[in-house]
Structure 1
């Protein structure tokens, strides 16, 4: 019988605390990545960050984007369960609740069952999103201020952050050890504009999501000229998530991408004729130019020692290595 991913607000107090405890477990267990691949990993959580950082330019705006991240968060959940005794499943952040005031969201309210609050206030000039969009500064910008992940440390990144005042280590040093704190600058200004009924319909049932290419384009750049609900989610979190490479150091990253997968799962159910199709090349926005991705291409997570899988085998959440649905 398939298990069901649930949005985080639907979890009970004990379930939320168990999830938080499992994440903290990964933040304490020793890293497993081969030291010859990176000198930046210190704890098990870093292994996942290093994997994402290392493959960033071949897993975004590509033909493997959706399946790579699906398998990546599934592998993360597997580690929570197998290595940290977690008995639940990876929750998702419901974008379409509290988007007008993220400080009221159970995900970000800073309570002991949240994923931590906004960052401490640091004066800065906002951040730059996709297409050069300027996102005004919010009430944060610094280290997570309160909650279970207050002042949470990270060992990798930022590589190329978009938030004003954050200094990146640069591409050449992307896997080097660089201890710092996880930062956030929650933007209700952006969330309230991108997480709307119109955006949801445009990404699911309208002609703007008629095929897989249209769906992927819509979730990254909305037809109304704003960031898509995927890319805009990272920009809504800002801080560490203003860096395409290392936003994964923020534990909220996984709840965001679980919601991305939820939307993808929903889109597949609504478009059965296109559910097992892919679109895109093997490089970021086809730069540099590369061949089209194929269903036989492998999704590989070598830093995590996860068995490679073909894209074809990861298109159905009730087949291959998977057995899950969303509720």
Structure 2
């Protein structure tokens, strides 16, 4: 199979038509789903969530014609994130797009796999002292054996693992990935790997970091503070959580092949939601920032406006769902979304 770069197929993906994974139309929110921190769930609720994720990974892909390495419906979400990575990070619609992805992942678990709950989240500030002993991470499996893999980014501290997860519901031999890493589309069968980084957690998973986000006066500064900069002293909580887990999670393109991705982005969305709740009238529909990301992940931006993201800016999830406008997902209990955080 010939290896193709994302820029060669992303335009086809974005305009491709087909059956969505769940055709339910949005309705006015009357009974919002309540998203909870993982460690507050009962064992029955945790098991139900794991069963739903594994169920999704057993369902056939609906995108394999566009991304041949996507073999399962779980990996369809990985493929969507992979293809759109150059366009949905370090830009004004970073948080809205990921809120949109998370909602449809949660909804697909419910409609395709019979999950009754809401998407849980992971408050990593509770695990700052020793991420390796985080009950959240440990419920999702172990760190894997120590390998000489080096730091997640040059100049960052080293992790403590690097090998295949050996325990839990996503262990090697039970949970196999096929979507190629990074920008390639050639199939690569592999395990879920982790390289838990205690130093990054200690340095950056702080209440002060979250408080700094919440004190920002407008959406632009809030989202920039959450994403942070690339240098280690200014690491934002978005990349921080990916690098606490590292391994599969450290690959920007395929980071949601790690099931913990959805708990991490649930927490990031919760922080944004909390910021909105502090001043609903002003902040519920506050959005800004450039359409074209300030760092290039290898995308073709010739078809995009050089202006700013507005409430009428359109987003999509390819054939999984779309398009919708940013304004449709700004209110979590509006006409489209229907959830709150505990």
Return the alpha-carbon distance in structure 2 between the equivalents of residues 27 and 299 of structure 1: 25
8 Å contact kept, 2:131–2:244: no
Moved more, 64-73 or 295-304: 295-304
SS in 2 for 1:325: strand
Bigger relative contact order, structure 1 or 2, given CA contacts below 8 A and separation 6+?
2
- Which residue does the alignment assign to 1:244? 252
Answer yes or no: is 1:280 the counterpart of 2:302: no
In the alignment of these two chains, the number of paired residues is 301
- Which residue does the alignment assign to 1:147? 168
Return the alpha-carbon distance in structure 2 between the equivalents of residues 95 and 127 of structure 1: 18
- Which residue does the alignment assign to 2:55? 25
CA-CA distance at 1:303 after TM superposition? 3.4
Matching of residues 251-270 of structure 1 within 5 Å: 251-270=259-278
SS in 2 for 1:199: helix
2:147 aligned to 110, 119, 122, which one? 122
1:184 aligned to 188, 191, 194, which one? 194
Answer yes or no: is 1:71 the counterpart of 2:64: no
Higher-strand-fraction structure = 1
- 1:296-318 CA-to-partner distances (Å, cap 9, x unmatched) read 111211131x1321101110001
CA-CA distance at 1:224 after TM superposition? 9.3
Matching of residues 1-327 of structure 1 within 5 Å: 1-33=31-63, 35=65, 37-109=66-138, 114-128=139-153, 134-151=155-172, 152-159=175-182, 171=183, 173=184, 175-205=185-215, 209-221=216-228, 225-272=233-280, 273-285=282-294, 287=296, 290-304=306-320, 306-327=321-342
8 Å contact kept, 1:47–1:303: no
TM-score, normalisation: structure 1: 0.87
Q: CA RMSD in A?
A: 1.8
- 1:55-80 CA-to-partner distances (Å, cap 9, x unmatched) read 00111011111111001011001110
- Which residue does the alignment assign to 2:20? none
TM-score, normalisation: structure 2: 0.84
8 Å contact kept, 2:33–2:117: no
In structure 2, runs of 5+ residues without a counterpart are: 1-30
- 1:203-252 CA-to-partner distances (Å, cap 9, x unmatched) read 113xxx22111111111217993311111111111111211111111101
Return the alpha-carbon distance in structure 1 between the equivalents of residues 258 and 180 of structure 2: 11
Return the alpha-carbon distance in structure 2 between the equivalents of residues 269 and 96 of structure 1: 20
